[in-house]
Amino acid sequence: MGRDCAAWNRSEIRILRRYYPRHGARFVADRTSRTIASVRCKAKRLGIALGRHRRVPWSPQEITQLRDYYPIMETGLLANWLGRSRCAVFNKATQLKLDKSSGLGRNSGRFHSGMRLTWPAGLNRRPGAAIGAEKFMSSRGYLMRKITSTGNAVRDWQKVHRLVWEDANGPVPDGHFVVFRDGDKTNVSIKNLVLLPAADAARRASELYSSYPKEVRMAMRALGKLKKAISEKS
């Protein structure tokens, strides 16, 4: 509740303007710690419209996965795995003239008495993102890019701002960090990036933290404690 009452900062508004028209309110809410209602309200106030035609074309890889698993997998689970709606999966399967195996009906994505939801043997619960795909690291707010497919998430996903800086200047020296001039982690333009020694980067981060209102600092500390508690229990 308190988070939604707080003013939107530049980074949040940038995320809203960039992703709301195509990806919708839930996508933005997950990356700003705002409620969906708050995102929609802010978008309306700023005059940011949600695109009416946001269909994402099916890739050859997705079509292959659909052909392989639609007959043997509940539609709802398959939709979650592919990151698409149940309706989109059903319509594409109908277009491709795919049908369910015996024991799985057309409404297999819906729960009913006696139904067992199982994953086919050997199928990862999440498909691997394509190299070059980007996502936000929700814990820190950094934009990440997949550069390899080794199966090691730490190795495969790298911070985009660091990649941008290295493309222009070469490898980051040991003991240095690439930081944002304006403090906006979504602004990965090379003009907004600067290389600093670790000590200077830490001092700059401390000054930025001190510039926030007391209420925001208290909320940040509380969030940090919550994440630590969740990590220790998991």
Check residue 2 and give its pLDDT: 45
Q: Do the domain assignments include residue 193?
A: yes
Is the model's pLDDT at 48 over the cut of 80? Answer: yes
Segment 166-210, tens digit of pLDDT = 888 888 888 888 988 887 777 888 998 999 888 887 887 777 767
Find where tokens 């990356």 sit: 31
Q: Do the domain assignments include residue 125?
A: no
Q: Which has the closest alpha carbon to 46: 11, 14, 4?
A: 14
**Chain Cα centroid distance, residue 144:** 9
Structure token digits, residue 135: 């996502």
Q: Do the domain assignments include residue 211?
A: yes
Q: Do the domain assignments include residue 36?
A: yes
Q: Do the domain assignments include residue 28?
A: yes
Please check whether residue 3 is in contact with residue 34, taking contact to mean a CB–CB distance below 8 angstroms: yes
Q: State how far the Cα of 217 lies from the Cα of 29, in Å rounded to an integer.
A: 21
Q: Do the domain assignments include residue 120?
A: no
Check residue 183 and give its pLDDT: 77
Q: State how far the Cα of 72 lies from the Cα of 65, in Å rounded to an integer.
A: 11
Pair 13, 37 in one domain: yes
SS3 assignment, position 137: strand
Q: Do the domain assignments include residue 147?
A: no
Is the model's pLDDT at 123 over the cut of 70? Answer: no
Segments in 173-213 forming alpha helices (H): 198-211
Q: Do the domain assignments include residue 31?
A: yes
Pair 29, 69 in one domain: no
pTM greater than the 0.75 cutoff: no
Average pLDDT across the chain, whole number: 75
Pair 42, 65 in one domain: no
Pair 74, 36 in one domain: no
Could you tell me which residues come within 8 angstroms of residue 81 by beta carbon, excluding any fewer than 6 positions away?
A: 69, 73, 123, 125, 126, 127
Pair 40, 70 in one domain: no
Q: Which residue has the higher pLDDT, 44 or 211?
A: 44
Q: State how far the Cα of 100 lies from the Cα of 98, in Å rounded to an integer.
A: 7
Is the model's pLDDT at 100 over the cut of 60? Answer: yes
Pair 167, 213 in one domain: yes
Q: State how far the Cα of 100 lies from the Cα of 110, in Å rounded to an integer.
A: 14
Residue 110's pLDDT band (cuts 50, 70, 90): very low
78: containing domain: 60-95
Is the model's pLDDT at 103 over the cut of 80? Answer: no
Q: Taking residues 92-100, report their average pLDDT.
A: 89
Structure token digits, residue 40: 């929609």
| Residue 32: how many other CB atoms lie within 10 Å | 23
Query: Domains in the chain: how many in total?
Result: 3
User: CA angle 168-170-175, nearest 5°?
Assistant: 120
For strands 142-146 and 134-137, give the pairing. Answer: antiparallel
Pair 10, 74 in one domain: no
Pair 19, 78 in one domain: no
